[in-house]
Amino acid sequence: MKNHKKRYFIRAALVALFYFQTIPAFVFGQVPGIDEMNAATGMVKDDFHSLVPLVMTIGAIAGLVGGIRVYSNWNSGKHHITPDVIGWFGACIFIQLVAAVMSGLFGV
């Protein structure tokens, strides 16, 4: 019987020890990983400004290539160019929306 009580006492002591060791982390606001997340957010915001012109350039090139492809199909006599036009127009809208959503997401 004493051995059983001793085990419960040790378990209760370990739980209390763990509990009292984690309280200072919450009281003093030193939750692990917050500083690292803030540093990563700052790095992403710094790199985001240089990525916006790159995304816009890729979008412009894709728009030109898509426009040339639609024009070529239209002049070659292909009667059903509607899917090509819809795909080209959708890609142009998508690349603009991605830039807007990403800038809103990162708060830039």
Q: Average pLDDT of the chain? A: 79
If one counts the domains in the chain, the total is: 2
If asked whether residues 8 and 52 sit together in one domain, one would say: no
Q: What's the average model confidence in pLDDT over 10-31?
A: 69
Cα–Cα distance, 21 to 34 (Å, whole number): 19
Residue 103 has pLDDT above 80, yes or no: no
Tell me what pLDDT residue 89 has: 85
Cα–Cα distance, 104 to 10 (Å, whole number): 52
**Residue span of the structural domain in which 16 resides:** 1-31
If asked whether residues 84 and 106 sit together in one domain, one would say: yes
If asked whether residues 70 and 40 sit together in one domain, one would say: yes
If asked whether residues 21 and 5 sit together in one domain, one would say: yes
If asked whether residues 102 and 52 sit together in one domain, one would say: yes
If asked whether residues 98 and 108 sit together in one domain, one would say: yes
